[in-house]
Amino acid sequence: MSRNLILGLCLSSLVLLAALISFVWTPYSHAALNIPAKLQTPSLQHWFGTDHFGRDMFSMIMVGARTSIAVATVAVGIGMTLGVPLGLTAAARKGSWLDEVIMRGNDMVFAFPSLVIAILITAVFGAGAINAIIAIGIFNIPVFARITRGAALSLWEREFILAARVSGKGAARISAEHILPNVANLLIVQGTIQFSLGILAEAGLSYVGLGAQPPTPSWGRMLADAQTMVSFAPHLALIPGFAIIVTVLGLNLLGDGLRDWLDPRIRVARA
Amino acid sequence: MSLLQIENLSLAIHGVDILRDVSLSIDPGQIVAVTGESGSGKSMTALTVMQLQPNGAVAEGSVLLDGQELLNHPEAEMCRLRGASIGMVFQEPMTALNPVKTIGDQVMETILIHKAMPRNQARDRTQEVLTRVGLPVDRLPLSRYPHELSGGQRQRVVIAMAIALRPKLLIADEPTTALDVTTQAQILDLLKGLVTEYGMGLLMITHDLAVVSEMADQIVVMRRGEVVEADATADLLRNMQHPYTRMLFEASGHHVILPEVPQTYPLLEVANVVRDYRLPRKRLFDAPGQHRAVDQVSFTLNKGERLGLVGESGCGKSTLTRAILGLEEIQQGEILLDGQPVFSSHKPNLDVRRRMQVVFQDPFGSFNPRHRVARLITEPFHLLNTPPTGSDRQDRVAEILKAVGLRADDATKYIHEFSGGQRQRIAIARALIIRPELILFDEAVSALDVSVRAQILDLLAELCAAYDLTYLFISHDLSVVRTITDRVLVMQAGQIVEQGETEHVFGDPQHSYTRALIAAAPQLPEIGKGAA
Amino acid sequence: KSDIKIAMQLEPPHLDPTSAAAQAIDSVVYTNVFEGLTRFMGDGSVVPGLAESWEISDDGTVYTFKLRDGVTFHDGTVMDAEDVKFSLDRAIAEDSANAQKALFAGIESVEVVDPLTAKVTLSEPNGNFLFNMAWGDAVIVAPESIDNIKTNPVGTGAFTFGNWVQGDSITLNRNPNYWGDEPALETAAFKFISDPTAAFAAMMAEDVDVFDNFPAPENLPQFEADPRFQVLVGSTEGETILSTNNMQPPFDDIRVRQALAHAIDRKAIIDGAMFGYGTPIGTHFAPHNPAYVDLTGESAYDPEKAKELLAEAGFADGFETTLHLPPPSYARRGGEIIAAQLAEVGITAEIINVEWAQWLESVFNGKDFGLTIVSHTEPMDIGIYARPDYYFQYDSTDMQALMDTLNTTTDPEERAKLLGDAQRLISNDYVNGYLFQLAKLGVAKAGVQGLWKNAPTAAIDLTVIHWSE
Amino acid sequence: MLRYSLKRLISLILSLAVASVVIFTVIEVAPGDPATFMLGVNAQPDTLAALRAELGLDASKLQRYVDWVGGMLTGDFGTSYTYRTPVSQMIADRMWVSLPLALYALTLSTLIAFPAGIYAAARRGKPGDLAVMGATQLGIAVPNFWFAMMLVLIFAINLRWFNAGGFAGWDNGLWTGLQSLTLPAIALALPQAAILARVMRSALLDILGEDFMRTARAKGLSRRQALWRHGMRNALIPVLTIIGLQFSFLLAGSIIIEQVFYLPGLGRLVFQAISARDLIVVESVVMLLVFAVITVNFLVDLAYAAVDPRLRSRT
Ligand SMILES: Nc1ncnc2c1ncn2[C@@H]1O[C@H](COP(=O)(O)OP(=O)(O)OP(=O)(O)O)[C@@H](O)[C@H]1O
Ligand SMILES: Nc1ncnc2c1ncn2[C@@H]1O[C@H](COP(=O)(O)OP(=O)(O)OP(=O)(O)O)[C@@H](O)[C@H]1O
Ligand SMILES: [Mg+2]
Ligand SMILES: [Mg+2]
């Protein structure tokens, strides 16, 4: 196991642990306002200080991790459950109209400026975690479709696939039995990368107010709330910023480490 | 004094010993061939001479070029020597050239980088060298890109690059392995001619003993990083000291004895088969082009007969295989197995499919790395209406593994735990498990070392006796086809140009193409007699 | 120094104050480019504008305006009674696009008596008429320049329109032919900075000289502590209220509305959302108005009482409702605090952040909401409580009668008494949760003088702004 | 080559057609009536109806779609509901901020990424490589809006080296214009540079492992010469893809950054227009951005062909 993998694993599990623990315990209620105690710097009582409503930042960061992880997980899930079958289908029917339609559809989605569309979606259907998930998820579909198709196409050229065809197996069966397991590593690695991009996207959407709505804490919104206060209470912006950086960094290191560990030859896309 | 003198060269990469006490020498105008099985350290020796070993390599001993020590020679000095004093040609002509630069630029670069002459003169020299290697500029302008050339042409460009400055020493690492026999013969001729003409020393690496014996003045046999035997070619062939050398030569010319073909009937009938591939349109509104990969092919394969199919790369052998297997639809003609079509109403005919199996060339690519052997070799059970289950299935697996010379408990291993030869045994096991009436071998032994190849050929002969195999054996290696088949088809550009009894065709070829093929194939000399 | 850069948060969509509600239009053009018959002063008083003087008939229905002589529009045409008639007729016309058509509702006819005299006849007396004519929506425009008014406004004011870099700034230049006193400024640029952080950064970096209504109260202490700046804390006409859908159960029950009122801690909201800026109010009326009655005691913070009231109304376990929050930070931050406070008494308010367009459509027009927070910035707008179809849907015949009387009353003392009654009525009915009067938070370079401290209407009166020596 | 270009061109046009339908449909279901928004809370129904008629909002959806697309084809993007000025004019104005910003950021990111990627590839596994790779990991993890906040805090508020935001305009000289775009460009460029540097490095490493690099070395080229003469152009192929993607991202994805630095660019225009329900502006700008993305990808495809002769000759 490489250094990347270990460091990535540590950082990611730290964040995951914080999110899980927050279900049963946080130092304070993340929603409890205490306006007289607002804007305190980190101290023994409040490890990360308090925000402009006197809420405990540490508790908010913990619960915020939950939000980030939930949004990113579901968004990546959407991308995978729809993108992978599409990619497999396109590869199995390479060159057919179906392949063409799927790939052109992918290009289409790619061609839309993602943030603008996310804003449109939330503007049309209202701001909120669900719509943020959908907006992020939609843009995950072509990523997975494309990468699955690419990897599957080269697998289809391999002789063991020919052997399976000689054994009378159909495209669907071959895709499930031979292609999918062999692209799994790639998907895990890409999934990690998309997960980290999902965290960033959620933060961005929340920052412009289109992510999870209050009182659900979200790192992006904490940053937005902190914006006007950085000059006199920098911890409000630094702490959620670091939380995002640590999480994304952890996931990226994990992704790179996993790639090297599982299969150094695979390529991931990052855009 | 020798041109190149390697003495007690040892090499370790990241602490792993790769070469031990390798010694050899080359005189000007001499061809020294280094041979041995895959992984024996041939390429590493060459790269060490070039001082291009991989990172982490530590070399000891001495490598003298014209009396000058190359080991740990300063890198800048080495750059001056490479290309000017030592040229090198690599195995894979398809990837040895930069795809985004013209061939002219790439050849000229050798000259320019050493500031040997001004640009316009360099251009003339480039044209001259390319002409010398058989690529006259009026037929192949300097502005061509590598992808516009055939494999043989590319290898000529690589050679032109290596000899542009007439180096004293030329190193050729498997220069013809990736080429067709006819092309191989031309390239070998070219190299030989260059050596005599320029008085270069040639260090030639090859695992093909036939090539070695035809070309070399000296032979060096390597095994596991050590030189096991080295001598002048004639002496070595006459008097082999080391058992390994003997084993190598024996395996190269390995003959097997096939059982007699029993009284028989036609099993596979191929009649007037045509397979066209659509090509992308040349211009936007043109009709799409067509490439006829298989052209009016007809033949019959009788039950119990072993049929060979030879021909150059790209002549349509694999395409024909796929058509017979019913994996692709054909455009014309008919393929019948035991009277039934393999492809009916645009769908593969499963009744027929389950009576055929295939073994592919690539021992690494033909298995799903994520499945265990048991699952891999039982995949054809999918074709059966009632596949065996439970202990029945296990018995079948154990039986077939034993039949191909493996152990029953290998069934639980993954494919990466096997060597290339073992993998090919597993591939044969997979083909045999449903007792097919016809097996197709598509270059099934081409990727194997000679010794392993000999074992597999023996195995096939045994299986013929045990299972009454009928097969179509495809190979570009004439010597293999000659020993393992009863009858042979010769294919050229999609057409069968000659067919007949194997011995008959090889002994007295009728078609000019067959004759060319046979002439180009290097002959292994009778061991113990010495080379021609 | 005779130029100034004034920042404001929102960019005007166009520059015609008579056909849009956007306050940003008034901020730029009111009294600077366009003038009305009357006008507001910085202290909220209404004084003569283009009308030098006026006479009101005894029955209070006929207003005869005497116009100033020698006033010309920026294009050189003369401003006369024809223009007054044109402007008012345009506002009351069938296809008028005036956003405050109600201001002109009582006008029956406008007559040109002579070039400098215009007579306006009302269908019934209206004590607010002169006040109404001071609004930006009632400025005098000329038929000659009306076609391009949105992009090239031509008025009578002390400043002419210079140019507009959309998304960035609008420049006004001094009008050499102005009828009144020559202003100290030669040019003024209005820059649009919507983001509060950017606002802070721009002020701190001295990119702008004045921030008209600084969007981030949390930053004011820093400006106060910095000798380079002055902070002007004043009052606006904005009553910030927790608007309640009076027709939607359970808010149709007065006990629930009263519970709501007692569940809210105004101080926490003012401290938390506005960092202490803002005056608590107990009714829908501006505290700086002489007629204001302090009724905050009626709805003091008392969560226990709120719970009791809820239990009485049958909601011992609370209930769920929605809280629509438009973009300004008073609403977004205040909403978070209110949601937390309501949660204390068992009411679950789901926060729904909306853009203004959505707010207008679903809350204001669609009346599809439970609670919302909004600042009612129109001056003297208690009259909305007499409109049962108004979005919070308060239907009280008492209030409607009271307002009818008020509209026909011109005696100031009588009016003050009626206004007091109205304030008490809506406070006792707990129509909405009354939170605080929005403060006007101006930040300026230390040398800028003459800025309006309060905001009786949205305006940045350039004529009185100047730099100290 | 011609066929290749034509084929890409046809798919470009098709994509644009589908995109226009999608954009129109999505935006038409958006709640919020522009007329209501413009007239505010005290507007009377007849006033609203009058305005709707004036804006053409009362026509059928199909009619409006046809008008919109037809208009765009002739360069007429319609008139903004709220600003009452031609949308094409607004877009043109904003373009002069967004386009230079995107180009500036792209230039910066390329200028940072190329040397960093090449340096790291050349020193694979050594401390220099590890340092660069560590920095890029960090660069990817930093949200650009947060980074922008920090830049403003440090360079505009504390050090006062740059303006905190706003756009001085090109009229006051190139330098002032560039100055107001510098911090935003840095905020946009750094995370992108991190990605690009990684792509550059891994592309180069892939190339370094290719057979033809060994051939080049055997000819007598030094490691560095081989890298420059044979590595770069081949490595450029994957790098170009990323640059293409990044350009679109920078053009479209600067919404937040334009917000932080209150730059009057396209991104902010979209944001404002969405909140004002200025549908025609939203539609046109999104369409334009999609057009830009698709066109850039088209150009990248053509650039491939310029770099890679194998594509050129593929009929
Ligand atoms: N980069 C490397 N790092 C470590 N070990 C290597 C490397 N390249 C080759 N080896 C090892 O060095 C040994 C000799 O390899 P070499 O390439 O010289 O064999 P060869 O005789 O040329 O074989 P072949 O006929 O397959 O080309 C092999 O055991 C191989 O695994
Ligand atoms: N899918 C395809 N589309 C177009 N042309 C093809 C396709 N597959 C093969 N060809 C062409 O058909 C011809 C025959 O190919 P085939 O693979 O059968 O040759 P082969 O004799 O098996 O060669 P080798 O010895 O290299 O395996 C070649 O020219 C090849 O380029
Ligand atoms: Mg080798
Ligand atoms: Mg083949």
> How confident is residue C242, by pLDDT bands cut at 50, 70 and 90?
very high
Mean pLDDT of chain C, nearest integer: 89
Which among D11, D252, D270 has CB closest to A104? D11
B64 domain residue, yes or no: yes
Q: With contact defined as beta carbons under 8 Å apart, do B277 and B455 qualify?
A: no
Domain presence at residue B270: yes
Domain of residue B327, residue span: 257-280+288-355+467-519
Q: Which amino acid is present at B412?
A: T
pLDDT at residue number D254: 75
Q: At what angle do helices B151-163 and B119-132 cross, to 10 degrees?
A: 130
Are B74 and B208 in the same domain? yes
Report the percentage of chain D scoring pLDDT > 90: 6
Amino acid at B50: M
pLDDT tens-digit map of C365-378: 888 899 999 998 88
Residue D121 pLDDT: 86
Measure the CA dihedral D293/D295/D300/D305, to 10°.
160
Please state the pTM of the whole predicted model.
Answer: 0.82
- The answer to whether position D54 is within a domain reads no
User: What would the pLDDT profile of C356-407 be if each residue is shown by its tens digit?
Assistant: 777 887 888 888 899 999 998 887 888 889 888 888 999 989 999 998 888 8
Q: Is the pLDDT at D255 greater than 80, yes or no?
A: no
All residues of chain C having their beta carbon less than 8 Å from the beta carbon of residue A224 are none
pLDDT at D311: 66
Dist CA D278 CA D266 (whole Å): 14
Residues B265 and B232 in one domain: no
Q: Which two tokens stand for residue B166?
A: 């007439």
Of the segments B260-264, B427-431, B444-448, which one has the largest average pLDDT value?
B427-431
**Cβ B454 vs Cβ B371: under 8 Å:** no
Residue B38 lies in a domain: yes
| Helix/strand/coil percentages in chain C, nearest 5 | 30, 25, 45
pLDDT of C40 over the 70 cut: yes
Atom 22 of ligand 2, residue of closest alpha carbon = B318
Q: Please, which pLDDT band fits residue D315 given cuts at 50, 70 and 90?
A: very low
In a shared domain, residues B238 and B325: no
**Residue span of the structural domain in which D272 resides:** 93-313
- Residue A264 — very low, low, confident or very high, per pLDDT cuts 50/70/90? low
Computed over every residue of chain D, the mean pLDDT equals 81
Same domain, B236 and B272: no
Question: Does position A269 have pLDDT exceeding 80, yes or no?
Answer: no
Bridge pairing between strands B31-36 and B201-205: parallel
Rounded Cα distance between B331 and B316, Å, is: 15
| DSSP-derived secondary structure for C215-233 | S-GGGHHHHHT-TTEEEEE
Picking from A28, A29, A33, A56 by the largest number of C CB atoms within 10 A of its own CB, the best residue to mutate is A33
Tell me what ipTM this predicted complex has: 0.80
Q: In this complex, do A229 and C218 lie within 8 Å of one another by their Cβ atoms?
A: yes
pLDDT band at B531 (very low <50, low <70, confident <90, very high): very low
Check CB contact of D229 with chain B, cutoff 8 Å.
Answer: yes
Q: Tell me the two tokens of residue D84.
A: 């009452």
Share of chain C above pLDDT 70, in %: 100
The verdict on the CB of residue B13 being under 6 Å from ligand 1 is yes
- CATH classification at residue D204: 1.10.3720.10
Mean pLDDT, all residues of chain A: 85
DSSP letter for B97, please.
S
Same domain flag for B351 and B487: yes
Q: Is residue D159 part of a domain?
A: yes
- Nearest protein CA to atom 12 of ligand 1, as residue: B18
Residue D102 in domain: yes
Q: What's the average model confidence in pLDDT over C287-305? A: 89
CB atoms within 10 A of CB B421: 20
1-60 in chain C: CB under 8 A from chain D? 11, 13-14, 20-22
Q: Which of C18, C141, C129 is nearest to C64 (CA)?
A: C129
pLDDT of residue C401: 92
Buried b (16+ CB within 10 A) or exposed e, A237-264: bbbbbbbbbbbbbbbbbbbbbbbeeeee
Taking the CA of residue C361 and the nearest CA in chain D, the distance in Å comes to: 5
In a domain, B45, yes or no: yes
* Per-residue pLDDT band at C87 (split at 50, 70, 90): very high
In a domain, residue D88? The reply is: no
Q: Exposed (0-12), middle (13-18) or buried (19+): which is C234, by Cβ within 10 Å?
A: middle
* Backbone φ/ψ region at C327: left (φ over 0), alpha (ψ -120 to 50), beta: alpha
- Residue C422 has a pLDDT of 92
Q: What is the pLDDT of residues C101-118, one digit of tens each?
A: 888 888 889 999 999 999
- B266 with B347, same domain: the answer is yes
Cβ burial of D130 (10 Å; 0-12, 13-18, 19+) is middle
Question: Count of domains in chain B?
Answer: 2
Considering the domain architecture, whether residues B227 and B302 belong to the same structural domain is answered as no
Inter-chain residue contact D163 with C364, CB threshold 8 Å:
no
Which tokens go with A242?
Answer: 């670091």
**Residue B48 resides in a domain:** yes
Residues from chain A that touch C221, judged by Cβ atoms under 8 A, are 232
**Residue bearing the CA closest to ligand 2, atom 26:** B313
B207 lines ligand 1 (CB under 6 A): yes
> Residue D66 half-sphere exposure, CB side, CA atoms within 13 Å?
5
B125: pLDDT strictly greater than 80? yes
Q: What pLDDT, on the 0 to 100 scale, is given for residue B530?
A: 42
Chains touching chain A, criterion 3+ CB pairs below 8 Å: B, C, D
Shared-domain flag, residues B238 and B298: no
pLDDT of residue A271: 46
pLDDT number for residue C407? 80
Residue D67 lies in a domain: no
Cβ pair C337:A123 closer than 8 A: no
Report pLDDT digits (tens) over A86-100.
999 998 888 788 888
Q: What percent of chain B has pLDDT over 70?
A: 97
pLDDT(C320) > 70: yes
Q: Which ligand is nearest to the CA of B449?
A: 1
Contact between chains at C196 and A227 (C-beta distance less than 8 A): yes
Q: Which of residues 351-370 of C touch D (CB under 8 A)?
A: 355-358, 360-362, 364-365
Report how far residue B433's alpha carbon sits from residue B419's, in angstroms, rounded to the nearest whole number. 21
**Tokens 């904005």 sit on residue:** C238
Pocket of ligand 2 (CB under 6 A): B 277, 291, 293, 311, 313-319, 476
What are chain B's partners, defined as 3 or more CB pairs within 8 angstroms? A, D
- How many helical (H) and strand (E) elements, i.e. helices and strands, does chain C have? 12, 19
Decide: B42 in ligand 1 pocket, CB within 6 A: yes
Provide, as residue numbers in chain B, all residues whose Cβ is less than 8 Å from the Cβ of D315. Answer: 280-283
- The confidence score (pLDDT) of residue B227 equals 92
- Residue D62 domain flag: no
Select the residue of A32, A52, A227 nearest C197 (Cβ to Cβ): A227
Question: What is the pLDDT confidence band of residue A46, given thresholds at 50, 70 and 90?
Answer: confident
What pLDDT sits at residue D299? Answer: 82
Question: Residue D11 above 80 pLDDT?
Answer: no
Q: What superfamily would CATH give domain A3-270?
A: MetI-like (1.10.3720.10)
Taking CB atoms and an 8 Å limit, are A230 and D153 in contact across chains?
Answer: yes
Q: What is the DSSP string of B349-369?
A: -HHHHTTEEEE-S-TTTTS-T
- Residue A110 burial (CB count, 10 A): 19
The answer to whether residue B181 sits within a structural domain is no
Supply the pLDDT for residue D38: 66
State the pLDDT confidence band at D111, using cuts at 50, 70 and 90.
Answer: very high
Indicate which CATH number applies to the domain containing B474: 3.40.50.300
DSSP notation for C304-336: HHHHHHHHHTT-TT--EEEEEE-SSHHHHHHHH
CB-based contact, D206 to chain B, within 8 Å: no
Check pLDDT > 70 for residue B1: no
Our answer on whether C and A touch (3+ beta-carbon pairs < 8 Å) is yes
Rounded to whole angstroms, the Cα distance separating D251 from D272 reads: 17
- Please tell me whether residues B246 and B262 are part of one structural domain: no
Ligand 4 centroid–CA B320 distance in Å is 9
Q: Are strands C320-325 and C348-353 parallel, antiparallel or unpaired?
A: parallel
Whole-number percent of chain A with pLDDT over 70: 95
In a domain, B406, yes or no: no
B234, B264: one domain: no
- Considering only CB atoms, B370 lies closest to which of A164, A168, A182, namely A182
Residue B146 pLDDT > 70: yes
The residue whose C-alpha atom lies closest to atom 9 belonging to ligand 2 is B319
Domain shared by B216 and B261, yes or no: no
**Nearest by CB to A35, which of C204, C271, C335?**
C271
Distance B491 CA to ligand 4 centre (A): 12
**Residue B78 pLDDT more than 50?**
yes
pLDDT at D199: 86
Residue B188 inside a domain? The answer is no
Residue C163 at interface with chain D, using a CB cutoff of 8 Å: no
Percent of chain B with pLDDT over 90: 18
* CB-CB contact of B222 with B40 (8 Å): yes
For residues A177-181, give the mean pLDDT.
88
Q: Which two three-digit tokens encode residue A6?
A: 């270990």
Query: Tokens for C57?
Result: 């008939």
More confident residue, B94 or B458: B458
**Chains touching C by CB (3 or more pairs below 8 Å):** A, D
Note whether B6 and B54 are same-domain residues. yes
Average pLDDT for D256-285? 80
Closest CA to ligand 1's atom 24: B38
Q: What is the pLDDT of residue B496?
A: 92
Residue of D nearest to C23 (CA): D40
Reported confidence tier of residue A82, pLDDT bands at 50, 70, 90 = very high
Number of domains in chain D: 1
pLDDT of residue B177: 79
| In the predicted structure, residue D279 carries a pLDDT above the cut 80 | no
Residue labelled with tokens 């020679």: B73
Nearest atom of ligand 2 to the alpha carbon of B317 = 21
Rounded Cα–Cα distance for residues A107 and D15 (Å): 8
Cis peptide before A215 (omega within 30 of 0): yes
Q: How far is B330 from chain A (nearest CA, A)?
A: 16
Tokens describing residue D111: 């200028």
> What local confidence, expressed as pLDDT, does residue B342 receive?
85
pLDDT at position D159 is 80
> Which residue in A247, A245, A227 sits closest to A237, CA to CA?
A227
Of chain D, the percentage scoring pLDDT greater than 70 comes to 91
When CB atoms are compared, the residue of B356, B365, B380 closest to A159 is B365
**B270 alpha carbon – ligand 2 mean position (Å):** 19
Instruction: Answer yes or no: do A169 and B369 touch at CB < 8 A.
Output: no
> Which among B371, B351, B358 is positioned nearest to B325, based on CA atoms?
B358
3-state helix/strand/coil string of C48-71? ECCEEEEEECCCCCEEEEEECCCC
User: Do residues C237 and C455 lie in contact, with contact meaning Cβ atoms separated by under 8 Å?
Assistant: yes
Q: Please state, rounded to an integer, the average pLDDT across all residues of chain B.
A: 86
Nearest Cα neighbor of B276 from B263, B294, B260, B298 is B294
Nearest-Cα distance to chain D for A36, in Å, is: 27
Report D:93-122 residues touching B (Cβ under 8 A).
none
Which of C222-231, C240-249, D259-268 is least confident? D259-268
Closest CA to D100 of D258, D290, D240, D272: D258
Contacts of D210 in chain B (CB under 8 A): 95
